[in-house]
Amino acid sequence: MASRISELVLGCRDPELLARFWCEVLDFVILDREHDGTLEIGPREGFGGAQPTIILSARAEPEPGKSRLHIDINATDRDQDAELERLLALGARRADIGQGDEDNWHVLADPEGNEFCLLRARLEPLP
């Protein structure tokens, strides 16, 4: 028997801000709200489907040190350049982690500075 990823947890100062951003990026919806401000976002069909959900956990201060986990995304309905423009318009910004011009992905940061990568490959949307 194997395991699979069901949720990713991201500590953040403003779960509402990041929920709006990541819901637009991934076409997710808010699935749950906790009394402490924590939000769970995910696909419309909810928890347990093909895609993991994202828990946006309210934290007063970011955890010290660089995060060792980041999200990679791929466009499903447009090419990489068009998706890059869409992400920048939503509030993402370019991040320099030492990548070169020859790399075929873009390193970006969400509105709170969490790094993520836009990969070149275009994936089919999930059914």
88-123 pLDDT tens trace: 999 999 998 878 777 888 999 999 999 899 988 878
Q: Is residue 65 part of a domain?
A: no
Amino acid 6 reads S
pLDDT band at 1 (very low <50, low <70, confident <90, very high): low
Give Rg (Cα) of the chain. 15
Would you call 120 helix, strand, or coil by DSSP?
coil
Model pTM? 0.82
pLDDT of 79:
92
More confidently predicted of 124 and 7: 7
Range of the domain at 121: 70-127
pLDDT band at 81 (very low <50, low <70, confident <90, very high): very high
Q: Is residue 102 part of a domain?
A: yes
**Domain containing residue 84: CATH number:** 3.10.180.10
For 47, the token pair is 């928890």
What is the tally of structural domains in the chain? Answer: 2
- On whether the CB atoms of residues 43 and 30 are closer than 8 A, the answer is no
In tens, the pLDDT along 18-74 reads 999 999 999 999 999 999 899 999 999 988 888 899 999 988 876 677 677 788 899
Give 38's contacts (C-beta < 8 A, 6+ positions apart): 15, 55, 56, 57, 58
